[in-house]
Amino acid sequence: MIELADVREARERVSATARHTPLDYSHTYSKMTGAEVYLKLENFQRTGSFKIRGATNRIKTLSEAEKDAGVVTASAGNHAQGVALAASRVGVDSKIVMPTNAPISKVGATRNYGAEVVLHGDDYNDAAERAHEIEREENRTYVHAFDDEMVMAGQGTIGLEIVEELPEVDTVVVPIGGGGLISGIATAVKAHDPETRVVGVQAEGASSVATSLQKGEIHELDGVDTIADGIATRSVGELPFEVIQKRVDEVVTVPDADIAMAITNLLERSKTMVEGAGAVPLAALLEGHLDYEHEEVIVPALCGGNIDLNMLTTVVMRGLVETGRYLKVRTVLKDRPGALEDLLKVIADMRANIYAIQHDRTSRDIGMSDTEVELDLETRGHDHVDRLLAELRNRGYEVDVLV
């Protein structure tokens, strides 16, 4: 099991490559929660996530023969970029296997950092199988994304930064995929103060650690389904699981809807962009999945910011819907002059803003003398939505809420 000395040695190796990221006090989230909230902004890290720390530590401990043979790994995106950059900086050839549905932005960034990318399989586990085949075929060294002590120690340097900058921290909240990040952070945090709480957070659609802890042994999921692709692994690593069992106080899960809300909240309130995996600690805090005391000093570790733009568009739209700021409705009007104008006047009088209108006379679901109208509306919260719908229905419109 890794110890504090391993993490300190890792810091010496990674300090020239990985940045010391900000620990930022958040007035917004402190006021919202009643806790004292400091955001560990690892989304500002080089390559956009913490993975550069563990990858650098592992690659710098390779023998000369291993460096000459090159490295291979599997990743959904962030570890891929970390290995690609860390390898390039020391002149080591790297080959990265990524799932075929990996975000385009992460695939492109990995190639730009100097790696050869192989797309294979539906998820991390499929990609890992192919990467191990390449390991055997080409005699490369496999750099595991999380089940490796040098990788875990490298990730633990985040924990050192937190406790040295904020020694009074009460709770550190950390995302969990395969477990490498939280095992490293927990090692550093618990060595500083065994009473400091370390809480892990998983997406409900990829809750391998939560399930494994309940069973008392590693449990592999049949599949994963979450917007937090950076932590979408079917199982926890053996080495991290041992550390988690001994040094992590609690593991909670959050649904994708809460993750989307946290991403949107960070964009709007903190002007900070994170990916799904980076948002899960704040989601747990804001949405009541985590118990804490008033004025407890809490550090959510925002582990990465590499969100795909298509996913970001979907997430922002979901966030607007969840907060009552976007509404899509359908109604049927008589196909006569002025009917649409009358409808729009009601909407204008209710102070809703129109994004888009679709006006269709050809739908088979309506009468020959009718027309179907769909409207995308900007609203100002759930109360405004309720008042708008009530007014439309009071005026005789049959309204279906589509989104």
Maximum C-alpha span of the chain? 81
Residue 364 has pLDDT above 80, yes or no: no
User: Helices marked H in 171-291 — which ranges?
Assistant: 180-192, 208-215, 238-247, 256-270, 276-286
- Identify the pLDDT of residue 82: 95
Q: Using CB atoms within 10 Å of the CB of residue 336, give its burial: 0 to 12 exposed, 13 to 18 middle, 19+ buried.
A: exposed
304: number of Cβ within 10 Å: 28
Considering the chain, what is the average pLDDT of its residues?
94
pLDDT, average across residues 283-288 = 96
Asked if 370 and 334 touch (Cβ cutoff 8 Å), the reply is: yes
Residue 266 confidence (pLDDT):
96
Q: The whole model's pTM is what?
A: 0.89
Distance from C-alpha of 285 to C-alpha of 301, rounded to nearest angstrom = 11
Range from 170-174, 258-262, 355-359 that averages highest in pLDDT: 170-174
pLDDT over 90 (residue 77): no
Question: How would residue 293 be classed by pLDDT, with cut points 50, 70 and 90?
Answer: very high
Q: What is the pLDDT of residue 403?
A: 87
DSSP strand pairing (23-25 vs 36-41)? antiparallel
